[in-house]
Amino acid sequence: MRLFAAIHPPSDVLDALAGVVAEVKRAHPGLRWASRTQWHLTLAFYGEADDAAAEALPGLLAAAVAAGPAPRLELAGAGAFPTRAPGRAKVLWAGVEGDLAELAALAERCTEAGTRAGLKPQGHEREFRPHLTLARSREPRDLRGHAALLGDFAGRPWTPEAVDLMISHFPRPGHTLLRELPFADA
């Protein structure tokens, strides 16, 4: 099974974002929009896990989550990846603000938990860029107009209660919760 660790924003935060995203969808059709039920902040992507790693990971990840405080977060702004070539982007995202240093430390602990479980977390060699993926394009395109329409969005601040260990259903879109791992201060 393919696993990843994520934070899911509260429903009311997603409701506010969904209202703005609906306007962007109408103004700019042609993207593959992620379902609201799939919106999350990825902390670590572990890829395919064998039975031994899948059994070891929840305990290691629980310890990693409990090792620090829950970060206070806010969805705000938007952008596109790759950031170096915004006119040739493939991913439109909502930004994250708040306790970003603590969020990055949490992502690092989650990545390390995967490594200790015998997995090879993917993407950890790049700088951690917290975001919530909203849409994808099959071909590179200019998504700056899309991002500009979302640029003024600022949701209410919130503090997550847990990190979720998720199963990714590749190649079909979607994921399901495997285990909820609460913060020690939740």
Active site residue 28: no
Report how far residue 169's alpha carbon sits from residue 167's, in angstroms, rounded to the nearest whole number: 6
Report how far residue 162's alpha carbon sits from residue 138's, in angstroms, rounded to the nearest whole number: 33
Active site residue 40: yes
Report how far residue 174's alpha carbon sits from residue 65's, in angstroms, rounded to the nearest whole number: 24
Q: Which of 40, 146, 169, 175 is catalytic?
A: 40
Q: Which of 8, 28, 131, 175 is catalytic?
A: 131
Active site residues: 40, 131
